[in-house]
Structures are given as C-alpha cells and as structure tokens.
Amino acid sequence: MSYSRMLVGLGVSPGIAIGPPLVVENRPQPVLRLFLSPDRVEAEVQRLHEAAARAAMALSDLAAQARTTVGHEYASIFEAHRLMAEDPTLLSQVEERIRRESANAEWALQEVIQVMLGQFEGLGDVYLRERRTDLLDVAAQLQRALQGRASPRLGEAPDGAILVADDIPPSQAIQLSSGSVGGFVSEAGGITSHTTIIAKSLGIPAVVGVAQVVPAMERAAMVIVDGFEGHVIVDPEPALVQVYRLRAEEYQQRQRELLATAHLPATTVDGRPVELLANIDLLHEIPAAKAGGAGGVGLFRSEFLFMQASPVLPDEDQQVEAYSQLLEAFPGQPVTVRTYDLGGKKLARELLGNPEDNPVLGLRGVRLCLRKPEFFRTQLRALLRAASRGQGLLRIMVPLIGHVEEVKTVRVLLARYGEELRAEGHPLPDRLQVGVMIEVPSAALIAKHLAKEVDFFAIGTNDLTQYTLAVDRANEYVSELYRPFHPAVLRLIHRVIAVAHDAQITVSLCGEMAADPLAVPVLVGMGLREFSLHPAALPVVRRLVRALSFREARRIANRALELATAKEVEEYLLEQLSALLAHVKVRIRL
Ligand code: PEP
Ligand code: MG
C-alpha cells in the first residue's frame, strides 16, 4: 500500500478524521524593507488599495457568516474591523509612507501601525486599549491580503474539514465548537497546551507538533489525522482511506462498549474506592460527563466562558446561570469551578492591553484576577450566588497560587462580597469549599502552610510539569523535554498527596496525567483517591482502576519514586501496566 506522504507529530486527542484540509496561517510572517524604483511607486499604492479592498470584503463575509453561526457580538467585531481596514486616514498614511520612502506596502503598513500602537501605549482606558487589539487584528488582515495569504475562516469549513495550522490560539480553537471541523493538525502545541485540551473536549482527533505541515498541504486534497499514533497522511490512496475508516468505526464501537460500564464503581479489586470526576471546559460537555459516569466536576475552566463571550464580559447574572447549570447537572456531587485562569496563552489582551514578554510567567491566573478587582468581584459574587441556590456542593478553586498571601486575599474578598450580597438581601450558601490548584513548584513546597488555609488541593500536573522542568507546555521545540513522569514532578505530586492526607483535606489531580493509563497505577499507589479528567477518558480509567489492586499499586509507586529518569519511570510503568492488562480486555493507547 502506498500513500503520498506521512508526517509525524504528537497524537494528542484520540480518534481518526478524514477530510479536505483547511489551511490557516496565524503566525505573523516576516516583513522585509524593499526599495522601489520611482516608476514602481504608483503600482505599489494601487496594490495597497486592492489589498485593503480584499481584506474588507473578507471581513464583511466573516461578519455575515458570524451572524448566523456564533451570533451578533462576533459579527459586530468583524464589521468594526472591516471599517478599520478601509479607513481612509489609515490608508493615506501608509500611502504617504510608500511615496515618501519608496517603500513596499507591507513595510510601510508595519511602520504606520507601529506609530499608531505607540500612541495607545500607556493609555489607562480599557476601551482604548481594546482598540489597540483591534488595530493589531486589522493590521494582520491587511498584511495577509498584501502577502496573498488566506485569512482564517473556521466557520466556513466544509463538513469534516481538517484544520491545518502553524499555530492556533485557544481563542480561535473555541470557535471550532460552532463549526464542522473534523480534525486538527498544527505545527505548534504540546500534549497539554490549551488548544489540545479544547480539541479533546470537543472530541476532535488532533495531532500537534508536526513540523512543516502547512507547506506540506500545498495542493493537497485529502488528509487523514490519526490522533492515536500522531500520524498525518496527505493525499492517501483510496485503499488506505478504507483501512482508516474501519479503524475509526472500530474505535467508536469500543467507546460505546466502554460507556456501557460507566455505572460501575471505580473501586480497586481489594476494595479501595476512587472518585472519578470530570474536567469540563464548555458547558455542552455536561452530557458526555454524565454518560461517562462522572461523580461530579473536578475542574470547570471558567475562563472559557469569558473567551466565548469576549470581548464582552459575561455579567454576574450570566455567570450565576452557567455555574447553576453545572450544580443542577450534578446534584449532591462536588462541582469545582476554577476562577478565571486567563493570561499566559489564554486571551488576556482585552484585560491587559500591552503584551508581556514572558506571559506564562506573568500576569496569569490568580495574579491577574487580583490586579483586576472589579473583574474578579463579578466572578466571586456570581459563585457565591450560585452556591446559595442550594444545589450540590460548590468548590471554588483558585489557579496559579504560589504564595500563602494570595489565598488569604481571596478569602478576604469572598468574605467581603458575601457581606455585600447579604446586605443586598441575597441568601448566602450553607456549604462552600475553597481550594487551590497546586501547579507551581513553590505551592507544592509550601503545601503544609497552604493546607491550613483551604478545604482542598487539586494538583495541576500540566502546569506543574511546565514550571518544574522549565519547559513551555505548548512549545514544539522542547516537547521532548516535557515529561510529567520526570522524577522531580512525581516527587512533588507524592509530597502534596501526603501533606493533604496529614492535614485531612481532599486532594485530587486534574491535569492530563489523570487520564493517562500509565499514570493510574502510580497515582493510586501514591494514595490519590480523586481523579478529574476529560469525559471521554472516564470509561478507560474506570476499567483500569477496577483491574488494579491497591497493594500492587503501592508497590509500583514506591519503586517508581526511586528511579532516576523520566525514561526509566515510563519504561517501568509500561512494563507494569502491560503485565496488569495481560488479563484485562481493555485496549489502551500506549
Ligand atoms: C493543569 O495545569 O494541570 C490544569 C489542570 O490546568 P490548565 O491545564 O487549565 O492550566
Ligand atoms: Mg494549569
């Protein structure tokens, strides 16, 4: 059997998708300064105006399409961008620069935009700073039009199209939920990048970290995405397409069989119960979490509410509705809402204005919320109001904690907003828990002190790995170094579980590791009793826990904790898991 070309990356969201490629280039392309001969200047000005007209038309199409798919808020953004793209003042400045400097249009545009951005610099007004973001977006559209590159048009994807991108920011990835994209391939990304997490939530097969995938798509008519193996096959032979269609059906059948066991308790063979909760990014995942037998929600990434509504902030009432929807879906069970974890790579330009040099180490998570008291107040009030409706148990979880003072401040704010709500005549919740994510090494190391301030810990191994190993979780150049089974990460996890047990508070783990079959025995063996994972992985993890004995798991954990390298740990766990599975009928991607 032959096929034209196979590219290899990291399979990050299981499943197989087959369809035509939809190529999107998001990374800015370098702009060169060219010196034009005098007789070419007029033609260059003409080229600028033609590109502006094309960009305006593309934006107008996007607005029309957004109106029918994602609603008026998005449509009005594209409309405003269209007006900016054909703004005579902007264009005349670029034109003037082309003439004055005999420069190419791309360079002249870049220079004019830089000057305009400089004028926004230091402006305190949020509205004006948002205009800066708009200006950047419009500049990117104009550059694309000048360079003859297509603009991303996710909503227009033909049914089952495979999105192929150099990079795709989470804010764009969430648009996939309203589209018909069947699969997803990108040059950037790692196993725990937020875009990957969204692909999993949406059940879209995905392969990331595929070098040079965009140029490989030139003239390609069809692509297979194998999210199990991390393979991307360009223009496959018809016979190969058949083979993959069969594999896709087989996978779906297996998923159906696993779902049929969702009601069984996740208890080890020697009787140790393990709670399996769901990670939910978008509310429409609630049915999948219920079908997978989730015993509650271990992580609701509330920032996606914000990203879906951006640039309009969801108001207090809208947030109360969203949190209540979760509480009503899981009556009597814990529902953990993580306060906004914006910043880093997750859309915070609206809030911050100026980009940071190193956003992953910057104003992210709780740090950003504490800098934006009004913004945080809306969320905390909404959480308190939802919790007081008397459904289930709300657990408020604060991300990116690194200092005890941060938790204390959040507690003070909660008390203050509680008082405020009481004075306004709102009832207050009878039960409410406050906890923190342990995802920064400093938090793991001061866990004993943090435990005195909170009701629970949730270990976020996606970030804990990133920050412990100093490896950007979304950077394909260092993805080989991103190893959650590195002994340093394992030791921190072990320590946090032990501290939580001593302090008698709940501890769960909600990073992607919770869904990794290799990790299940070692985590159970370290004493972890609560896992939170994306809904699709619940059945497999349940099956695994039911095949384990706690005694055996403890032995595995003790041995794993003695090993020196990530490779040794992975090989050891693979060997143990294979032995364990020899008698269990569960096919797992290893
Ligand atoms: C984590 O860091 O492990 C986590 C669950 O949070 P997120 O992936 O949203 O950063
Ligand atoms: Mg995190």
Residue 330: what residue type? F
What is the average pLDDT across 444-464?
Answer: 98
For ligand 1, say whether the CB of 285 is within 6 Å of any of its atoms.
Answer: no
What is the average pLDDT across 188-217?
Answer: 84
For ligand 1, say whether the CB of 439 is within 6 Å of any of its atoms.
Answer: yes
| 471 vs 272: CA distance, rounded Å | 35
For ligand 1, say whether the CB of 460 is within 6 Å of any of its atoms.
Answer: yes
For ligand 1, say whether the CB of 511 is within 6 Å of any of its atoms.
Answer: yes
Q: Does residue 31 lie in a domain region?
A: no
pLDDT of residue 380: 97
Same domain, yes or no: 459 and 566? yes
Q: How confident is the model at residue 1 (pLDDT cuts 50, 70, 90)?
A: very low
Q: How confident is the model at residue 188 (pLDDT cuts 50, 70, 90)?
A: confident
What is the average pLDDT across 65-85?
Answer: 68
Q: Is the pLDDT of residue 25 over 50?
A: yes
Look at residues 147, 182, 208 and tell me which one is the last residue of a structural domain: 147
pLDDT of residue 255: 83
From residue 537, give the alpha-carbon distance in Å to each of 233, 334, 391, 461, 501.
25, 19, 26, 17, 26
Q: Is 87 helix (H, G, I), strand (E, B) or coil?
A: coil
| CATH at 93 | 1.10.274.10
Q: Does residue 590 lie in a domain region?
A: no
Determine which of 135-144, 305-314, 335-344, 414-423 has the lowest per-residue pLDDT on average: 305-314
pLDDT, the chain, mean: 88
Structural domain range at position 304: 261-584
Q: How confident is the model at residue 57 (pLDDT cuts 50, 70, 90)?
A: confident
For ligand 1, say whether the CB of 461 is within 6 Å of any of its atoms.
Answer: yes
- Give per-residue pLDDT as tens, 262-271: 889 999 999 9
Q: What percent of the chain has pLDDT over 90?
A: 60
Q: Does residue 589 lie in a domain region?
A: no
Same domain, yes or no: 214 and 228? yes
424 alpha carbon – ligand 1 mean position (Å): 35
Same domain, yes or no: 139 and 43? yes
Would you say 276 and 293 are in contact if contact means Cβ atoms under 8 Å apart? yes
Would you say 355 and 349 are in contact if contact means Cβ atoms under 8 Å apart? yes
The residue from 81, 231, 510, 534 that is catalytic is 510
- Residue 194 catalytic? yes
Same domain, yes or no: 250 and 265? no
What is the average pLDDT across 524-547?
Answer: 94
Q: Is the pLDDT of residue 308 over 70?
A: no
Q: Does residue 184 lie in a domain region?
A: yes
**Sign (positive or negative) of CA dihedral 285, 432, 304, 506:** negative
> Which of 464, 577, 585 is closest to 513 using CA atoms?
464
What is the average pLDDT across 23-47?
Answer: 87
pLDDT of residue 181: 86
Look at residues 231, 255, 279 and tell me which one is the last residue of a structural domain: 255
> Whose C-alpha lies nearest to ligand 1, atom 4?
460
Q: Does residue 123 lie in a domain region?
A: yes
Ligand nearest to the CA of 338: 1
Same domain, yes or no: 266 and 310? yes
238 alpha carbon – ligand 2 mean position (Å): 42
pLDDT of residue 421: 97
The residue from 194, 231, 486, 494 that is catalytic is 194
337 alpha carbon – ligand 2 mean position (Å): 13
| 188 vs 165: CA distance, rounded Å | 8
471 alpha carbon – ligand 2 mean position (Å): 14
Look at residues 97, 132, 147 and tell me which one is the last residue of a structural domain: 147
**How many domains would you assign to the chain?**
3
- Give per-residue pLDDT as tens, 105-133: 999 999 998 888 877 665 555 555 556 66
For ligand 1, say whether the CB of 301 is within 6 Å of any of its atoms.
Answer: yes
For ligand 1, say whether the CB of 484 is within 6 Å of any of its atoms.
Answer: no
Question: Hey, which of 437, 457, 509, 513 would you mutate to test ligand 1's pocket, going by the most ligand atoms within 8 Å of its Cβ?
Answer: 437
pLDDT of residue 588: 46
Same domain, yes or no: 238 and 121? no
The residue among 303 and 414 whose pLDDT is bigger is 414
Q: Is 365 helix (H, G, I), strand (E, B) or coil?
A: coil
Q: How confident is the model at residue 318 (pLDDT cuts 50, 70, 90)?
A: very high
Q: Is the pLDDT of residue 349 over 60?
A: no
- Residue 369 catalytic? no
List, in order, residues 6 or more apart from 203 with CB less than 8 Å away. 13, 15, 288, 536
